[in-house]
Amino acid sequence: MKHQERGRQAPQAQQAHLQADDIYGIFMQSAALMCVFYGPTHVFKFVNPPYQALVGDRPLLGKHIAEAMPELAGQPIFDLLDRVYRTGEPFHAPEMLVRLDHVNSGDSLGENYYNFVYQALRDPSGQITGILVFAYEVTAQVQARQREQQLNRVLEEQVRQRTRETEEARQEAVREREHLERVFMQAPGAICILEGPLLVYRLVNPTYQQIFPGRTLLDKPLLEALPELTQSQVPEILARVYRTGETYVNAELPLLLARHEGDAPDQMYFSFTYQARRNGLGEVDGVLVFAHEVTEQARGRQAAEDSARQLRMVTDALPVLIGYLDQQETYRFANKAYESWFPLKSGELLGRRVTDVVGEQAYGKVKEYLHRALAGERVDFEATMPYREGFTRHIRTSYVPDERDGEVLGCYTLVTDVTAQVEAHRKLQESDQRNQSLARELQESNGSLVESNAKLGRLNDQLRHINADLDNFIYAASHDLRNPILNIEGLLGVLEENLASAGQGTKDTHRVMGMLRGAVGRFKQTIGQLAEVTKLQKESAEVVRPAELAPIISGLELDLAFDIQRSGARIEVEEPGCPNFPLSEKNLRSIVYNLLSNAIKYRSPERPPHIRLGCRRDRDIWTLSVRDNL
């Protein structure tokens, strides 16, 4: 029985021996730069001729890389090797600059670029024992081809020399090849060998097979094993590598492939290197494939890019200026609304400082608020901004700090144009002042009834014209503002849905969205009440429904919240003697708003205002009083 078992095992051992020879030949004949480091200090245990050619005849085997190549100090190589050895994660670097003393002169370092892969090696227990390095130079394709031809001639000569080595050296080489085979099969990267013009799978390591767990690959031609590749560019690329011997590298190539036999193909992404394999005569007889599946990374990046595009589309549609400033007060984001205020495209604002965009005079108005926001404080304010000659805007602004892990990286800026509301309020105040002036004139002209009546008639005409102008202005303003604020309300809904579906909502984002929704609601209420002002004359003869004073005061405290906070005002409502006031809600609200806002606006600079609001009724007379501590 034992003789029979040994008889069965002998072909398997012979096959493993041949495979080990094949792998060793690949490593030693490859035009790529390959070596094996062992231990945490990265001792050279295997170096193929192209790698050795980097430093000429300088001895490498048995030496730490820091000892063998001291000129690498200060370059990223040592840190990258430490990281791969520590974490076990492979590292791929495209076109990295490496400075080496190629001629060992001691005073001249070359500047060459390389693509390379670092992969951790593990023993049978899974412990990391070293690092496999696969690299090639891409300084110039023509020079690379010339060097490859020269290296092939050197390799051929070295192969002929090795055939004359002693039996002891041959046995050592056998052990070395067997070890390299284990390294090849244990490599965490996906590796395979495609042989001949039909590109037959001759070797597939476990990592490569795991990409296609339900499919048989070994000993099958590529297009028989994976027929869905027929319509891709992969067969053409492999044929070119096989024909020319030139290395091919690609990152995140999309391919339609099925992991299991009979499954519908799904789009997968790969970063890979195709390297020609050569026989002992230097002829290309196959292709060596190093591949990394990057499907999840590619899809994640695409999802992030799609989310960013959607967010940009929504913010660009809003009439509010939305931006982001870093700690250097430099724009890192600006939506399209900026283009209607400044003679720059939104993309041209990026990288510019605030003062360069808004001007020194306007910057002086917001500098203090901006510094507070970048220090971590949420800031809301209103200001009149002289951006440039002939272009001044009244703005309502919120600065929201961007704080992450206790560090303020910058702040979000939301700027709303309230010029129309401010101008409307100013016109209302001017109209009120004119009405008061006209009333005084009526009192002074009481001596002559005829003259008073005539003047009264003229004044009434003036009032009618003023009221008509004011009605037209308020109607136009409320009509023009209604559609934009409805659009803002709709776009806010779209923005909130997109942020929720993309999973990008943060605490600051929800807080900003809540603030915007509240502002839009109060804005809509104000617009509705402005539109109703035009009906004041028509409603003078109608029955007035008494208004409730308490909810009006509560709403006005919200509208004046910024002024109350800034001034430190305290509003005290005395026990109302008339909870229902015989006046329409909009008229009562307008009266109370003007009384409260004036009490805050014309406060004493020496102390915070203390405002007392009360109401009393004496038979058919209702009295509304507002007192402060001036």
pLDDT digits (tens, 9 = 90+) for 12-62: 656 656 666 677 677 778 888 999 999 999 999 999 999 998 888 899 999
- Residue corresponding to tokens 């062992």: 38
Q: Give yes or no for a contact between 324 and 411, defined as CB atoms under 8 angstroms apart.
A: yes
Euclidean distance between CA atoms 188 and 91, whole angstroms:
11
Confidence of residue 448 (pLDDT cuts 50, 70, 90): low
* pLDDT tens-digit series, residues 215-249: 999 999 999 999 999 989 999 999 999 999 999 99
In a domain, 1, yes or no: no
Tell whether 336 and 264 lie within a shared domain.
no
Euclidean distance between CA atoms 445 and 442, whole angstroms:
5
CATH code where residue 618 lies: 3.30.565.10
Confidence of residue 453 (pLDDT cuts 50, 70, 90): low
In a domain, 551, yes or no: yes
Q: Which of 169-173, 234-238, 538-542, 604-608 has the lowest mean pLDDT?
A: 538-542
Tell whether 81 and 229 lie within a shared domain.
no
Tell whether 491 and 374 lie within a shared domain.
no
Tell whether 377 and 487 lie within a shared domain.
no
Establish how many alpha carbons lie within 13 A of residue 348's alpha carbon, considering only the half-sphere containing its beta carbon: 8
Structure-block tokens of residue 18: 């041949």
pLDDT of 534 over the 70 cut: no
C-alpha separations of 100 from 139, 154, 258 in Å: 14, 21, 44
Task: Give me the pLDDT at residue 35, please.
Answer: 92
Task: Give me the pLDDT at residue 425, please.
Answer: 81
In a domain, 299, yes or no: no
> What mean pLDDT do residues 616-622 have?
80
- Residues contacting residue 197 through CB under 8 Å, at least 6 positions apart: 239, 242
In a domain, 13, yes or no: no
pLDDT of 541 over the 50 cut: no
Rg of the Cα atoms in the chain: 40
> What mean pLDDT do residues 488-503 have?
72
pLDDT of 146 over the 60 cut: no
Tell whether 449 and 552 lie within a shared domain.
no
Other beta carbons within 10 Å of 490: 11
* pLDDT tens-digit series, residues 247-280: 999 888 899 999 898 888 999 999 889 999 988 7
Task: Give me the pLDDT at residue 226, please.
Answer: 93
For residue 38, which of 81, 93, 91 has the smallest C-alpha distance?
A: 81
Task: Give me the pLDDT at residue 421, please.
Answer: 84
Task: Give me the pLDDT at residue 491, please.
Answer: 73
Task: Give me the pLDDT at residue 78, please.
Answer: 92
> 3-state DSSP call for residue 137?
strand
Q: Which of 49-58, 130-139, 315-324, 469-478 has the lowest mean pLDDT?
A: 469-478
For residue 254, which of 275, 272, 274 has the smallest C-alpha distance?
A: 272
* pLDDT tens-digit series, residues 587-608: 788 888 888 888 888 888 888 8
Angle in degrees, CA 135, 139, 142, rounded to 5: 105
Q: Rounded to 10 degrees, what is the CA torsion of 151, 157, 163, 166? A: -100
C-alpha separations of 252 from 133, 268, 299, 628 in Å: 21, 9, 10, 71
C-alpha separations of 12 from 19, 165, 193, 203, 209 in Å: 10, 27, 20, 15, 21
> What mean pLDDT do residues 608-615 have?
86
Euclidean distance between CA atoms 252 and 372, whole angstroms:
44
Euclidean distance between CA atoms 147 and 153, whole angstroms:
10
pLDDT of 205 over the 70 cut: yes
pLDDT of 536 over the 60 cut: no
Q: Domain count of the chain?
A: 5
State which amino acid sits at residue 121. L
* pLDDT tens-digit series, residues 545-590: 777 878 888 888 887 887 888 888 888 887 666 677 777 777 788 8
> What mean pLDDT do residues 349-368 have?
90
% of the chain beyond a pLDDT of 70: 79
CATH code where residue 150 lies: 3.30.450.20
Q: Which of 10-14, 389-393, 499-503, 616-620 has the lowest mean pLDDT?
A: 10-14
Tell whether 87 and 28 lie within a shared domain.
yes
| Strand partners for 581 | 547
State the average pLDDT for the chain. 81
Tell whether 144 and 180 lie within a shared domain.
yes
> What mean pLDDT do residues 289-294 have?
88
- Residues contacting residue 317 through CB under 8 Å, at least 6 positions apart: 336, 487, 491
In a domain, 10, yes or no: no
In a domain, 8, yes or no: no
Q: Which of 542, 559, 587 is the last residue of a domain?
A: 542
Tell whether 175 and 197 lie within a shared domain.
no
For residue 291, which of 32, 92, 51 has the smallest C-alpha distance?
A: 92
Q: Which of 135, 163, 186 is the last residue of a domain?
A: 186
Tell whether 241 and 100 lie within a shared domain.
no
In a domain, 433, yes or no: yes
Task: Give me the pLDDT at residue 503, please.
Answer: 67
Tell whether 278 and 248 lie within a shared domain.
yes
In a domain, 137, yes or no: yes
pLDDT of 509 over the 80 cut: no
Euclidean distance between CA atoms 571 and 551, whole angstroms:
14
pLDDT of 542 over the 60 cut: no
Tell whether 531 and 438 lie within a shared domain.
yes
Q: Which of 249, 273, 293 is the last residue of a domain?
A: 293
Q: Give yes or no for a contact between 413 and 389, defined as CB atoms under 8 angstroms apart.
A: no
Residue 64: which domain range? 20-186
* pLDDT tens-digit series, residues 89-109: 999 988 788 889 888 887 788
pLDDT of 317 over the 80 cut: no
Tell whether 525 and 582 lie within a shared domain.
no
Alpha helices, H only, 106-193: 141-162, 167-186
pLDDT of 465 over the 60 cut: yes
